[in-house]
Structure 1
Amino acid sequence: MKKTTFLKSTASKFAPTLVAASMAVAALPALAADYEFNIVHLSNTSDEDYDGAVVLKDYVEAQSNGRIQVNIYSGGQLCGNPTECIEALQANLIQVFNTTTGGLANVFPEIQALDIPYMFPSDRIAECALNSELLAGPIRKELLDRTGSLRLMTIGNTGGWRNFATTNTQIKTPADVKGLKIRTINSPIQMELVKAMGGSPTAVPWPEVYTSLATGLVEGSKNGITDIMGMKFNEHIKYMTLDGHAYMASMWWMNNDSLKDMPEDLQHIMMDGFDALRMVTTVMPKRRQIEAYNAFKAAGGTIYAPTADEKAQFQTAAKPVRDWFITEYGAKWVDITQNAVNACEASIDKAYMAQQ
């Protein structure tokens, strides 16, 4: 079973921009708040990550009567990529940061179990499982044990579900993926999914996706509709297939020392604030996708929802990805995730049947 060690960093390892920005923050005049936290997210201010950060800031500042001050830095102002931001979080140069599983995969590859294709059958099961102590609890403990500094505060969503989106070919079954050059994030499990369906995975940095679609370097991507419309990928992408192969979970991390340095009453306020953040980031993609899908169709795009039989074909085609993951990283985190899903399905079904 392959594992990587999460190495702790010092400020000397950070990029010059991070150090300079941190020094600039330190040079600001002292404020009245007893505790000050810097939240960093890499998306822009039109993203649900920003909405969640604003809600967290408003809640904790109001409920603490100004004893806590929260500063929000969007678009990579203090650090430019997940690795750099996680290092900054460990060093307590920033106090809060959020990642997808892909953003954490280079330091905790087993977390990719959350991205095993079709692991989560629906929004309500995903939302239940990801924040249950059956799953969130072990993730929190694992990262604290490995790093001593990263505490999982909550898991929200950033962009809905990953779906296949293509420029010239409508995908209805996994057979339609064969031969297509599909853009993925730099995550092994995302690449394995495309390979399993006969496609050619191509890792392309987010800022380069538009040009890659325009030039034909890639013939499709795996994204949610709000990201596609927000980045104007629809100028090249004309087909979407709602296969929902991955729920785009967003894990919000806080420096453990910065949390534990506060008195217990303020720690509880922070935890409540993160729960408010979770609710906002979970709901906003659902609301925003309505206009996004309508705009996509108005611009000539076609949206296809696979039938039950076609969805089963996708699930069968993706099974080798789960097998690959277990070979690479062991079954522990697959079992933890699957058990949380099973428990949520049983609980929800029981509650529904009790209403009959």
Structure 2
Amino acid sequence: MRFLKIGLSLLTAGFVTAGVEAAEFELTVPHVTNIESYNHQSLLVFKNFVENHSNGAITVNIYPSGQLCSTARECLAGVQSGAFDYFQTTIPELANYWAPVGAFDLPYMLRDDRVAECVYDNEDFLVDIRKNVLEQTGNLRLMMVSNSGGWRNFATTKKQIKTPEDIKGLKIRTVPAPIQQELVKALGGAPTPIAWPEVYTALSTGLVDGTKNGIVDITMMKFEESLNYIVLDGHAYMGGVWIMNNDRFKSFPDELKRVVIDGIKAQNQFLRVYPKWKEFDAYETFRKAGGTVYTPSAEEKKAFQDATAPVRDYFIKEAGEDGQAWLDRFSSEIKACEGAIDAEFAKASE
């Protein structure tokens, strides 16, 4: 295989038995955002950890800005075929390969970061997801579900959204995934799937009236130059799904598998902290550009939840019994995490 090189040098760090030949691996990692993005920065964390802790047995080659593939679908196809090794995608994009995972992207399911992180840190839960994705794809191995920029909110160019009725008739950019498109339809808008690198132009030319993104993504890509309003409805946690070619992962000796997994854990820590750290600056940047930030009341947020209930019905119809089972499992995991966090709060506030 073109990415696998067998070297004659011996690892001397102590994690490989002395006298055993060391295998040297190259990981090819593309992404479609720029080098200032959190994905790129997180990959530098991964690269630093893996290369140093493997004593140079693993080299991580990062290709930003769509150098090797221009869309998530192209990149995932490359990972599946073995052309690439590691890539970040979204939950709705992964649903194109395994439909039940769409349950995790249904609107207004997760209440906050702590609940989301609790759910996705459940290793038994992740193992079951990984098994099903592998069965469906043959070679896409789920490594983690992290965060990719905070929470999705509706941001618009000409109209402040405060209620579901305000979205009627608006052309809203979505990722090319059914659940996200059905969400906009349920609110009376016109979903317009546009690839990430093309969103800036779509907003600036008026091709769309708004988008569904987190504030960190908005300012990272300078969308505030066109967007003037954002409503913090928080309809979806932006779960970043990191996928590795399964054959490549399995080709590592156990000692290096551990290095890769530990490196991914370090990367996950960065990804989860980044949006929390950057949100303050991002909101300030948005406001300084003339943007207005609106936080809906509890009643207004419930109106959004009620209006988007048909999206869940759509998902169950499309995904069938398997989809219903995974929605039930997801709901159960959420309730368990909410209960544990609420119990912790009760103790801490005594």
In the alignment, which residue of structure 2 is the partner of 1:58?
48
What secondary structure is seen at the aligned counterpart in 1 of 2:308?
helix
In the alignment, which residue of structure 1 is the partner of 2:336?
343
- Going from structure 1 to structure 2, the CA distance change for 1:352 and 1:140 (only over 3 Å counts) comes to same
Alpha-carbon distance between aligned partners in 2 of 1:153 and 1:204, rounded to the nearest angstrom? 27
What secondary structure is seen at the aligned counterpart in 2 of 1:240?
strand
1:328 maps onto 2:321 in alignment: no
Residue identity in the other structure for 1:352: F
Segment drifting more, 158-167 vs 261-270: 261-270
In the alignment, which residue of structure 1 is the partner of 2:196?
206
Q: Cα offset for 1:257? A: 2.0
Residue from 307, 312, 315 that aligns with 1:317: 307
Task: Give me the identity figure in percent.
Answer: 48
Q: Cα offset for 1:321? A: 0.6
Q: Does structure 2 retain, via aligned residues, the 8 Å contact 1:162–1:222?
A: yes
User: Can you list the C-alpha shifts for 1:80-123, whole angstroms capped at 9, x where unaligned?
Assistant: 22232222212322211111023223222322211100111101
1:269 maps onto 2:262 in alignment: no
In the alignment, which residue of structure 2 is the partner of 1:194?
184
Alpha-carbon distance between aligned partners in 1 of 2:97 and 2:222, rounded to the nearest angstrom? 32
Q: Cα offset for 1:247? A: 0.9
Following TM superposition, where does structure 1 have runs of at least 4 consecutive aligned residues deviating by more than 3 angstroms? 30-33
The normalised TM-score by structure 1 is: 0.88
How do 1:88-237 and structure 2 match up within 5 A?
88-237=78-227
How do 1:237-316 and structure 2 match up within 5 A?
237-316=227-306
- Going from structure 1 to structure 2, the CA distance change for 1:167 and 1:60 (only over 3 Å counts) comes to same
- Going from structure 1 to structure 2, the CA distance change for 1:31 and 1:304 (only over 3 Å counts) comes to farther
- The number of residue pairs the alignment matches comes to 333
CA RMSD in angstroms, aligned pairs only: 2.2
User: Can you list the C-alpha shifts for 1:154-212, whole angstroms capped at 9, x where unaligned?
Assistant: 11111111100011111111121122221112111111111111112222233332333
In the alignment, which residue of structure 2 is the partner of 1:6?
none
Alpha-carbon distance between aligned partners in 1 of 2:31 and 2:232, rounded to the nearest angstrom? 27
Q: Cα offset for 1:320? A: 0.9
What secondary structure is seen at the aligned counterpart in 2 of 1:69?
strand
How do 1:8-47 and structure 2 match up within 5 A?
34-47=24-37
What secondary structure is seen at the aligned counterpart in 2 of 1:37?
strand
Alpha-carbon distance between aligned partners in 2 of 1:105 and 1:42, rounded to the nearest angstrom? 19
Residue identity in the other structure for 1:100: T
Q: Cα offset for 1:31? A: 10
In the alignment, which residue of structure 2 is the partner of 1:4?
none
What secondary structure is seen at the aligned counterpart in 1 of 2:235?
strand
**Is there any run of 5+ residues in structure 1 with no aligned partner, and where?**
1-21
